[in-house]
Each structure stands twice: as structure tokens, then as C-alpha cells.
Amino acid sequence: MRKVYAFQAFNYSLLFYILFFFFSVSFKIIFTSSSKAPWANLNSKNKSMAESSRFDHDLVLAHKFPETTYIYTERDAAVYALGVGACGRNAIDSDELKYVYHEDGQQFVQVLPTFSALFSLGSLTNGSIDLPGLQYDPRLLLHGQQYIQIYKPFPSSASVINKVSLAGLHDKGKAAILELETKSYEKESGELLCMNRSTIFLRGAGGFSNSSHPYSYSNYPKNQAPALKIPKSQPFAVFEDCTQPSQALLYRLSGDYNPLHSDPMIAEVAGFSRPILHGLCSLGFAVRAIIKCICRGDANTIKTISGRFLLHVYPGETLITEMWLEGLRVIYQTKVKERNQAVLSGFVDLHHLTSSL
């Protein structure tokens, strides 16, 4: 019955084209949490095409991104909070109700720090990166990591000016790595709110170095991207949270409309049994766990957030976030309970620890 509904939802000619394209070649899908999924077709024809793509790193580095504006309201902040599981276990949880409701009015609703990841979505055009000097197969694009620096608490509503720049470009042989940095300013005050750095892997776009030494450019301190090792000791805290079967449908209301997360037919073509959860949604769940267990409900103690996307999550699965406290740094790993597989890892740096720890 589900296939019948899917056929009714698509124009028949478009459906025929999609099915013909995907089933005419052997393929493997690489997915991301960006606004469109990069269909990672690894057949020999597309691979050789990608490997022969031209890559002018001088043009890429010289590119100036246009400023973008992101406007959000109290309602947007509340819908996002629900999308990453706030109040999902307990609708009257005082630690989380403040993200969706305030007795004195919605203008007092607090904003989760991971909400800022939405600001950087404007760096992508239809799920791909349009840069002069950069030619690649967009189906081989993978959103690998997200780094967020918080400079001040976010207002419950704001108009945000985003300034995007290239923070890193690296030749990894068979792949190129782009690091896009988005600095977000409150339009009214001009104050810097946060910085997002998105790490994008372009499979098949490497090999562009002009010398025997692989090309590598980075404009930020190395300590912002340390090699992360998950401790072998017992976690300081463990938090279990259940995603809802409709979790991806709720999260997509915050602006990520990739059909991989909502359309059963697209998910099936991509090799999944059903639509998958957005990676940035999983990151929101993990940071909520840290706020609850380590920060004792005070999101303003969070200074930086780093997350690496490892594996997909199906809506309805149970997420277990393990946390290790090392000074003012929380190292975390999130697993899917039903499959016992790690789906996300990273760290969160704090301004201070709560007195109760």
C-alpha cells in the first residue's frame, strides 16, 4: 500500500527517470544532514569522471561569499527544540519546558545552542557547494563534522547576518576536504552570536596538489580540531533518550527538507528501509543530554560544540549518549541501542562546571 501512495505522490515521468538512473548502475549512497542528500554513486564511470574533475585551489580560496540573512522567531526556536527531543520524555520537565514555553510569554523562551547550526545551512545551494574553481560530483558530497563556537546566549527571536568564508581546504588524495566557516551576527546590535564550521568531504575531488606535498590550508588554530579518542574508562554520565517515529518529520520543519528524511520511496532507493534522521538532529539530542546531565539544565555554560557524524539513525530508535568529563571538556559518544552502533562522537567545552558536580 505504501508504494501505491508513493506513486501517487510523484509525477510518473519523474519517477521513471529516477528509477531508471539509479537501477541502471551499481551504487552506494553516502548521506548527510545537509538540505539535500549527496547521492554517492561509486560506479567506475562516475568515479573516473570525478577524479578527472579540475580543481583550482587559488580560485576557491579567492572566492568571496555573499552575506545571508536568517530570521527566526520564538516559534521557530520552540519547534526546533521539539525537533531535537525537548520535553519528549516529560512534557512538564522544568529543565526543558523553558525551550518551548514561558509563563510570562513566548518572548522569554530560551534557545538551545545547537539551534545555531541552522544559520549555516545557507552556505549550501540545493545541498551542494557552488564555488569558482571547484568542480566535483555533488552526489559524492558528505557532511562529516560540525563545530560550533558560542559567544553569547541567543535571543528568543532575531534577524541574523551570516558571513561565510573558507576556513580550510585539504587534498587527501582521493578526496578533497572543504571547511566552511559561518560567523553569525545579530543584525540589531551587530554583536557576534556564534561561529559554525562545517567540514565537507568531496569524494573523488582530491589529487589537485601541484607538488609532491599534499595541499593543505587552514586559517584556524589546530586546538579547535583535536584528535578525539573515546576514553576506555566508565562514563561520568549516561543518558538514554527515545526518538519518535515522526522525529525526522518534526525536525524538517526547522528548514532541512531533504526528502531522504521524509519520503519512503527516496529512502528505499537510497538503500534504507525507511527515512533516516538528520545528522544535526542527532547532534541536538546529544547536546541536550550534556546540558541535562553535566550542565544541570543551564545551556549557557556551553562554550563550544564539536560533532562527527558516523552512522545513520532511524526515527524511533533509542539514543544512548555516554559522557566523560575531562576538566572543562565533555567527551561524548552517542550510540543506537537497538543496533549497538556509534552514530556520533565529539566534545563540548564548558565555561564552568556547576557547583553540584
From 256, 307, 312, 331, the catalytic residue: 256
Q: What is residue 191's three-state secondary structure?
A: coil
CB 186 within 8 A of CB 116: no
Q: Which of 129, 150, 276, 305 is the catalytic position? A: 276
Cα(217)–Cα(211) distance, rounded to whole angstroms?
Answer: 14
Contacts of 207-212 with CB under 8 Å at 24 or more apart are 207/51, 207/171, 207/173, 207/174, 208/54, 208/55, 208/56, 208/57, 208/171, 208/176, 209/171
Q: Known catalytic residue: 279?
A: yes
**How many Cβ atoms from other residues are within 10 Å of residue 25's Cβ?**
12
List the catalytic residue out of 143, 170, 261, 278: 261
Cα separation values, 269 from 19, 39, 197, 220, Å = 8, 10, 31, 39
Name 194's bridge partners. Answer: 150, 184
Closest CA to 47 of 33, 26, 23, 24: 26
Whether 261 is catalytic? yes
Active site residue 143: no
Q: Which of 85, 127, 144, 279 is catalytic?
A: 279
Q: Judge whether 170 and 214 are in contact, CB under 8 Å.
A: yes
Cell of 249: 518529520
158-171 and 68-72 strand pairing: antiparallel
Residues assigned a catalytic role: 256, 261, 276, 279
